[in-house]
């Protein structure tokens, strides 16, 4: 997320100019446009590594979108304009979706393709010695945030930005996607259109291959493409890619976007899932989903409560019996 543009006189090009090679590489990129019914996890992973983002058509059906909107529309109507310039006053937001909409949580952060992609790119492994025994620990991705955006006519554009700024991700430049190593990115975003999303009503702008640039490299506006989506289409994006919401120049169209990010399991979550959502609401989910929300230990010992698995706070009596006596390590 980034502040909105209030001053139209601000430059769109870095003061020191922009590297011609980076510009040419970004312009040459062809953004993949997949069908959810046929695309594979490996294809999406390869596409993200190559270009930083891709479109996946028909990832949610209309009845699911209708159910999500029924859950979140009352909260959209309750939201008030942001004080300051971080969001334009025409924008309304809903957060804490784990509690507010189970169908949102099950079908967007819980989407199998998205989770499989995140598992491939965000799972971390660490080796350390315990005496003379080499221990290997796995840390699975966790939910980073959940946000619904309702952007009304007249909203100004966001500045191009990278969402990995929140976790202070420092990147060296890569000459090609072939030099990309899994582990470079710490978070991955997923945006699903609740309504038709166009350049005119504020579709997300995205600079292809900007995930290969150094942290110190500013963006250039003319390289941005618009992720135009039909209802139910999705856009997946590495958080190291420059992007931003666009101006809604229409007079009568709402841009409705359902979004979430996943992060490496040992990082602090952007949205505090433990305070944003009640324990009772988390109990509604499967054990697998509860772990994804953050009720798990990032191996070997990160996130315990009283040296126990934090999910014991929300386990059923039967689960607690099965878990009794188990060693956390």
Number of domains in the chain: 2
Specify whether 139 is located in the same domain as 98: yes
- Contact criterion met (CB below 8 Å) for 194 and 69: yes
Specify whether 315 is located in the same domain as 168: no
Helix H segments across the chain? 20-28, 41-51, 62-78, 97-100, 102-107, 112-122, 273-276, 279-282, 287-293, 317-323
Specify whether 317 is located in the same domain as 275: no
The pLDDT of 66-93, averaged and rounded, is 84
The pLDDT of 131-138, averaged and rounded, is 96
More confident site: 118 or 327: 118
Residue (of 93, 92, 72, 90) closest to 250 by Cα position: 90
Residue 84: pLDDT band by 50, 70, 90 thresholds?
low
**Range in 71-80, 111-120, 122-131, 174-183 with the lowest mean pLDDT:** 71-80
pLDDT at 328: 74
Assign residue 45 the CATH number of its domain: 2.60.120.620
Residue 15 lies in a domain: no
Specify whether 60 is located in the same domain as 176: yes
Specify whether 111 is located in the same domain as 167: yes
Q: Could you count the other beta carbons within 10 Å of the beta carbon of residue 61?
A: 12
Residue 85: pLDDT band by 50, 70, 90 thresholds?
low
Residue 256 lies in a domain: yes
Residue (of 235, 267, 258, 243) closest to 122 by Cα position: 267
Residue 282 lies in a domain: yes
Specify whether 97 is located in the same domain as 50: yes
Mean pLDDT, the chain, integer: 94
Specify whether 208 is located in the same domain as 318: no
Dihedral class, residue 72 (left if φ above 0, else alpha if ψ from -120 to 50, else beta): alpha
Residues 6+ apart with CB under 8 A from 100: 71, 72, 75, 94
Specify whether 39 is located in the same domain as 182: yes
Residue 5 lies in a domain: no
Q: Is the dihedral of CA 245, 270, 138, 171 positive or negative?
A: positive
Specify whether 240 is located in the same domain as 323: no
Residue 1 lies in a domain: no
pLDDT tens by residue, 202-256: 999 999 999 999 999 999 999 999 999 999 999 999 999 999 999 999 999 999 9
pLDDT tens by residue, 8-64: 556 777 877 899 999 999 999 999 999 999 999 999 999 999 999 999 999 999 999
Structural domain harbouring 277: 20-296
Check pLDDT > 80 for residue 7.
no
Specify whether 283 is located in the same domain as 313: no
Specify whether 235 is located in the same domain as 323: no
Specify whether 57 is located in the same domain as 181: yes
CA distance 71 to 95: 12
Residue 11 lies in a domain: no
The pLDDT of 258-262, averaged and rounded, is 99
More confident site: 15 or 103: 103
Q: How many CA atoms lie within 13 A of 231 on its CB side?
A: 12
Whether the bond between 300 and the residue before it is cis, its omega within 30 degrees of 0, is yes
More confident site: 311 or 329: 311
Check pLDDT > 70 for residue 159.
yes
pLDDT at 323: 81
Residue 14 lies in a domain: no
Tell me 268's DSSP state. Answer: P
pLDDT tens by residue, 264-291: 999 999 999 999 999 999 999 999 999 9
CA distance 57 to 55: 6
């Amino acid at each position: 997320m980034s502040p909105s543009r209030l001053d139209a006189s601000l430059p769109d090009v870095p003061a020191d100019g922009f590297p011609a090679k980076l510009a040419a590489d970004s312009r040459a990129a062809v953004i993949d446009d997949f069908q959810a019914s046929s695309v594979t996890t490996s294809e999406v992973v390869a596409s993200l590594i190559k270009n930083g983002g891709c479109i996946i058509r028909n990832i949610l059906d209309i009845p699911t979108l209708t159910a999500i909107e029924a859950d979140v529309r009352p909260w959209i109507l309750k939201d008030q304009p942001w004080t300051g310039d971080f969001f334009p006053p025409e924008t309304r937001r809903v957060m804490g979706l784990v509690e507010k909409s189970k169908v949102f949580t099950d079908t967007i952060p819980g989407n199998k393709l998205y989770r499989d992609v995140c598992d491939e790119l965000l799972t971390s492994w660490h080796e350390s010695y315990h005496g003379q025994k080499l221990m290997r620990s796995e840390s699975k991705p966790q939910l980073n945030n959940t946000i619904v955006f309702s952007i009304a006519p007249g909203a100004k554009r966001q500045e191009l930005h990278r969402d990995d700024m929140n976790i202070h991700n420092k990147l060296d430049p890569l000459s090609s996607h072939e030099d990309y190593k899994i582990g470079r990115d710490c978070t991955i975003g997923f945006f699903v259109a609740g309504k038709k999303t166009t350049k005119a009503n504020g579709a997300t702008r995205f600079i292809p291959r900007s995930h290969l640039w150094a942290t110190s490299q500013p963006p250039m506006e003319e390289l941005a493409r618009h992720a135009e989506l039909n209802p139910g289409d999705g856009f997946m994006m590495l958080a190291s890619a420059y992007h931003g919401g666009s101006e809604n120049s229409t007079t009568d169209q709402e841009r409705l976007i359902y979004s979430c990010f996943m992060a490496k399991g040992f990082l602090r979550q952007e949205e505090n899932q433990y305070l944003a959502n009640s324990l009772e609401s988390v109990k509604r989910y499967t054990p697998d989903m509860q772990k994804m929300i953050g009720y798990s230990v990032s191996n070997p010992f990160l996130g315990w409560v009283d040296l126990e698995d934090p999910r014991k706070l929300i386990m059923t009596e039967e689960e607690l019996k099965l878990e009794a006596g188990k060693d956390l390590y």
